[in-house]
Amino acid sequence: MFTGIISDIGQVRAIEKRGDTRFAVATHYPTREIAIGASIACSGPCLTVVDKGEDWFAVEASAETLARTTLGDWKPGTRVNLERALKMGDELGGHLLTGHVDTVAAIVSRKPEGDSVRLEFEVPAPYDRAIAPKGAVAIDGVSLTVNEVEGRVFGVNIIPHTQQESTLGEAKPGGRVNLEIDLIARYLARLIGKDIA
């Protein structure tokens, strides 16, 4: 489980296509504290650490992960939002996330709003049903509050701190992002017989 509070911005160092795709990611995390088999959210998806070095770790992504996320777009140099898995007693600063990305959303606009930036995203149906004003979403692993929803487009504000501490400060119209809908919305849809996916 994760909270959507980014604790490092890593950078893709190398990509190796085998049966699955292996990504080596440079990090500021003290990798001696990261166990092989640990989970790290990498711009949203929860991935398993399969190897590590002094300032990097490696993860593998299956064809399913590549199909449902933006990881297939990554190349050496791509910046990646990182969050290590929650431990008992950790502060829950964002909202509960599983690291299971639901779909990819498109950035449709970026506008300054005070010191913040207003980003609007278009989400494919039927995922739009799970997004509500003042509800929570995770965009590229970042926990955010939804400001408004109009059809399949929703908006969020990115405050200066989040712009600096995540890759969302670089987000531009035409870009694609990983979207994880709220866990409660997913289960509620299932209970009322209107599964999201």
pLDDT for 99-128, tens place per residue? 999 999 999 999 999 999 999 999 999 899
Res 192: pLDDT:
77
Q: What percent of the chain has pLDDT over 90?
A: 83
Q: Which of 63, 81, 82, 85 is nearest to 72 (CA)?
A: 63
Q: What percent of the chain has pLDDT over 70?
A: 98
Architecture field, domain 103-191: Beta Barrel (2.40)
**Alpha carbon of residue 3 to chain centroid:** 11
Question: Identical fold at 8-84 and 103-191?
Answer: yes
pTM listed for this prediction: 0.94
pLDDT digits (tens, 9 = 90+) for 28-85: 999 999 999 999 999 999 999 999 999 999 999 999 999 999 999 999 999 999 999 9
- Residue 175, helix vs strand vs coil: coil
Architecture field, domain 8-84: Beta Barrel (2.40)
Spatial separation of the C-alpha atoms in residues 192 and 8, rounded to whole Å: 38
Res 41: pLDDT:
98
| Torsion sign (Cα): 4, 8, 9, 11 | negative
pLDDT digits (tens, 9 = 90+) for 162-190: 999 999 999 999 999 999 998 887 777 77
**Alpha carbon of residue 6 to chain centroid:** 9
**Alpha carbon of residue 138 to chain centroid:** 6
pLDDT of 17 over the 90 cut: yes
Domain boundary assignment for the chain: 8-84, 103-191
